[in-house]
Amino acid sequence: MRILRSTLLDCPPEQAWEALQQSRLLGYVAWPVLRFRPVAVAQLPATWQEGKYLVRLYLLGWVPLATQWIVISQDAARYTLRDNGHGPLARVWDHRITLHPAGAGRTRYTDEVTIDAGRLTPLVTAFAAGFYWWRQRRWRQLVRQAKQQHNSVISRLYA
């Protein structure tokens, strides 16, 4: 099943892209719905690098769900970051984030996710739809907070 959700961010794509590169942003936008804990290393890299990262997922920060591979690839020229992830719960979790200029210094932020969780696909997709709504809400809050603090570097806010 596929989810497609977009929102407008009140910042230029360059700023959103800089923030998106920071792995700790994942923790910020997912909190408190999901928490991601690396399995094989102490922490995720400061900035996403192309590669595979095994994480344990926790619902509401403490209920263990499953492990999941985050498989990162990027196209900086097109402001696209992809997590072609998979795990025991979701055989396919293909998440593509794209950023497009939206005029007047704004960015159209889009999450496109394809999910295959076998018989659980409808349930997992329903959860994911709410989760991506929440992530985009957190993104908008972060950008708004940066503007209020006259901070042009969004990534400093969730350090």
Contact 122, 110 (CB under 8 A): no
The dihedral of CA 121, 3, 73, 14: what is its sign? negative
Contact 121, 91 (CB under 8 A): no
In angstroms, rounded to a whole number, what is the distance separating the alpha carbons of residues 159 and 147? Answer: 16
Per-residue pLDDT, 149:
80
Per-residue pLDDT, 34:
97
Q: Where are the domains of the chain?
A: 2-31+72-158
With H, G, I as helix, E, B as strand and everything else as coil, classify residue 130.
Answer: helix
Per-residue pLDDT, 114:
98
The backbone torsions φ and ψ at residue 92, rounded to the nearest 5 degrees and listed phi first, read -130, 125
Per-residue pLDDT, 156:
58
Contact 140, 132 (CB under 8 A): no
Whether 63 shows a pLDDT value over 70: the answer reads: yes
Q: How confident is the model at residue 148 (pLDDT cuts 50, 70, 90)?
A: confident
> 82-130, pLDDT tens digit by residue?
999 999 999 999 999 999 999 999 999 999 999 999 999 999 999 999 9
> 11-59, pLDDT tens digit by residue?
999 999 999 999 999 999 999 999 999 998 889 999 999 999 999 999 9
Q: Which residue has the higher pLDDT, 156 or 148?
A: 148
Q: How confident is the model at residue 7 (pLDDT cuts 50, 70, 90)?
A: very high
Contact 142, 14 (CB under 8 A): no
CATH classification (class only), 2-31+72-158: alpha beta
Q: How confident is the model at residue 138 (pLDDT cuts 50, 70, 90)?
A: very high
Per-residue pLDDT, 151:
65
Q: How confident is the model at residue 154 (pLDDT cuts 50, 70, 90)?
A: low
